[in-house]
A and B are shown apart, each in its own frame.
Chain A
């Protein structure tokens, strides 16, 4: 079962790299923002998979909840900034 979680995590890591490419080189601010938000959700799942591998899910759930919340606040902040300043 650990190997399955490990493979799943590696697949998600590859997807994170693709999103990172979109975040760094993406044309325009909106593409960058979408890429970074996608990285946040994938990181959350990777954290939970790490919890399953180390048999400490209850510990990693705490971290992932905080991560999800801060990701939410960051998304709202970026969206509000773009709404007020316009797409730069």
Chain B
């Protein structure tokens, strides 16, 4: 028996991979299947699940409502569709802004003297490793009516003799956008840096020798070669932004409800796991569709592991 095991490469591989595969099967695959099953169920009066097959949770999510104002039997209620749309557009905007901010910084580090690069990267890692919740809290303090941003603005306006009333920035969609950009910025800087750093300097020299100016070199050499990093960064930013609920919870208050908040409330406050599961499946499908088309267009960089 032992002898056979020693000789069978395939059996050895199976045994080595078994613990991880079982672990992931039990705690990732089965939960996903279970979520799917629950999403077709109905909520029991005590907040549990009655296993049946109904599409009610999905029709409700996409706007079918029986609770109508003028006595109609059914009508369209855009509440949940709006939440899905808001999450999607916030994720797009966050990703775009993050790319805009991350690219120059990554470029700066990649073109820095090799001895200085580690220091600049170190400066990116500190905010990245500071806890997610703490980073949201930091923005809560800055954006408050009495917070530092208003104090500095007030001081500047006073200097310029312009009347100034503190801005209400906290609990607005803008606050959530800023918080999201801040949270996920390092996840874009690192992969872009990794792909920029791989570009060899002779390439730049060749471009210059062939008469390309700085802008042309950037557009024809740097940008295309850094695309794998941008793609990897986009996946690392877009997917978590779609599902995060802390940022909107703390910085958006009751004003900005995203699909993450919707799901969380179904499981904790509203106690309707069936509706929460349906919302969570739709969230997963949305991110998978976007990721699929995006990676099919631009490829799937290995930079994703680096970050």
- A and B associate: no
